[in-house]
Amino acid sequence: MGAPLVLLVRHAHTTASDTWLSGRTPGVHLSHRGHEELLRLRAQLMDVPLHAVYSSPLIRARDTAAALATDHHLELDVEDDLNEMDFGQWTGVAFDALQSDPRWRDFNARRASAHVPDGERPGEVQRRIVMLLSRLAARHRRGTLALVSHAEIIRSAILWFSGRSLDDFHQCAIDTASVSGVLMTATPRVLFVNSTDRSSLQVADQLAPV
């Protein structure tokens, strides 16, 4: 029996990246750097036989995903469970300012048990992305799916399927416009993480039936 290969794609760089926590703020678009990253990402996935493209509802993800869908002559499906983590009171705050908040420091020290003021708990984020991947694996029994989402969402999935704690988040880099692959067999396998070139996908091609 086959199994779908899920490509977890982080959206390209934005006008807020590295400056302030955009979270679910609407209207955060790709930056000039992001458009350059998107060109590289499109080239990276151009020869991959995608069967479906799903996206977070946020514009930075949709702009990234729409380009991939266009390249592969697919419709773009917007999926709410790919949405960014709800960062509550931290949304829109500059990263420099967050450093003085002890709750933010705790979030970055003990992710698994951290509390986000008026936002989602990390465990809730992990549950929704893992459940989504399970649903999509049941819907798509084989082939390759591209899911465009956000660093925290992708990292949560990778840590779960790797059998690791959310507290290991700092050991799982998810760069803008990177691709991570999970083969959704009965016991899902993480094939590669944070790839920005074709080499990882060439290996994955041999493991994911068309």
pLDDT at 199: 77
CB atoms within 10 A of CB 159: 22
For residue 84, give both structure tokens. 């960014």
Q: Class assignment of domain 5-86+121-205?
A: alpha beta
Map tokens 């698994």 to a residue: 112
Q: Are 149 and 54 in contact (CB under 8 A)?
A: no
Compute CA distances 118 → 103, 181, 203, whole Å: 12, 32, 42
pLDDT reading at 1 higher than 70: no
pLDDT tens, residue by residue, 168-198: 999 999 999 999 999 999 999 999 999 998 8
Burial of 116 from C-beta contacts in 10 A (0-12 / 13-18 / 19+): buried
CB atoms within 10 A of CB 122: 24
**Overall pTM surpassing 0.85 (yes/no):** yes
pLDDT bracket for residue 208 (50, 70, 90): low
pLDDT tens, residue by residue, 28-50: 999 999 999 999 999 999 999 99
- What's the CA gap between 167 and 14, in Å, rounded? 26
Which SS3 state, helix, strand or coil, does residue 78 take? strand
Map tokens 């959310």 to a residue: 166
pLDDT bracket for residue 205 (50, 70, 90): low
Strand partners, 55: 78, 148
